[in-house]
Copies of this chain bind each other. A is one copy, B any other.
Amino acid sequence: MTPFTRRTLLAGGALVLGTTTFSSLAPQPASASARPTGKQAPTLYRYKIGSYELTALSDGVWDRPIDDKFVRNADPAEVRKAMTDAFMPATDRLPIPFTTLLVNTGSKLILIDTGSGGQIAATAGTLGANLAAAGISPKAIDIILISHFHPDHINGIKTKDDALVFPNAEIKAPAPEWTFWMDESLPGTAPEAIKGYVLNARRIFRNIAKNVTRFEPGAEVAPGITSVAAPGHTPGHCAFSVASGNQSMLVLSDTTNHPKLFVRHPEWQPVFDMDGALAVATRKKLLDRAAADRMLVQGYHFPFPACGHIARSGTGYEFVAQEWRPL
């Protein structure tokens, strides 16, 4: 395998051109082929907001089986049409991306949501590998901000064996979210549909409760980062605004699930939204603000790199993905 014995040509990850002399301009037969890798490239994307360096880090994609009840208040044929129009590979499963966001302020490393911890789907759980590809040790994370307590956002806090993945990070979570999910009576009274989420949230947070800082939605939670109340998806669900210099952007968290369905049709209620009507009101409010102000947004369930803009459209709004740029 010639390609892999020529590593001396590569310095610091960049190909050094012009330092190699070629004995002849005539082509030589290539001696071997490169093995197909069979795996995706590192999935991270950097951009700047003022002096802050942001990194979108993929935790993978969950291909969630769906049925006619997945969107509570839409004609299933319309949902299938929206998926076909988006060239999704099938209409009976929705590819739901998970994308976390790392903010480097220059003095603090802040991770917004923590991915699935490899505990949800075989095609998710890549945050650790992508963080490593970004050159960041989990020990270097100073602050973790949690948007809400669904497993795909909090499970990355711990391994399956309950060890802390980010041992030096201060964890900050919305106070109303904590109040709802950690209520001692909830395991006995919760509806069947959310019982798993309740037990999972308790597994993650119960033995580290004294070390989790709870914030009121609207509070500044890190330098330049302010939480934004966005209830409905869950009782205490938060978005975050990130500002540095004269630039800012909005982390929508789960204000909308997949944009090809719920940005296009903000009135549609996915089964994930605990209070469907309130979630729709919050969604319309934040999308309208983002569109009016032409704000850059990041969406946890938007296709990687999950950042872009919101434009008004015929049915509601349209997500316009940011074009990949050199930094």
By a beta-carbon cutoff of 8 Å, the part of chain A in contact with chain B is 2-4, 6, 9-10, 13-15, 17-18, 20-22, 24-34, 36-46, 53, 55, 58, 60-61, 85-88, 95, 97, 104-109, 118, 123, 126, 128-129, 131-142, 159-161, 163-165, 167-171, 207-208, 211, 294, 303-305, 308-309, 311, 320-327
Contacts and interface: CB of A to CB of B under 8 A. Distances in A.
Given A3-B139, A323-B303, A41 B33 contact: no
Q: Tell me what chain A mostly uses at the interface: helix, strand, loop, or mixed.
A: loop
Given A160-B18, A163-B21, A53 B36 contact: yes
A14 B87 contact: no
Contacts of A26: 211
A89 to B, nearest CB: 9
Question: Nearest 5 A-B pairs (CB), nearest first?
Answer: A15-B128, A3-B140, A303-B323, A304-B324, A36-B53
A104 B30 contact: no
B104 A32 contact: no
A164 to B, nearest CB: 5
Contacts of A141: 30
Given A109-B33, A161-B18, A39 B28 contact: no
A40 B325 contact: yes
Contacts of A140: 2-3, 6, 30, 32-34
Contacts of A138: 9, 15
A38 B51 CA distance: 10
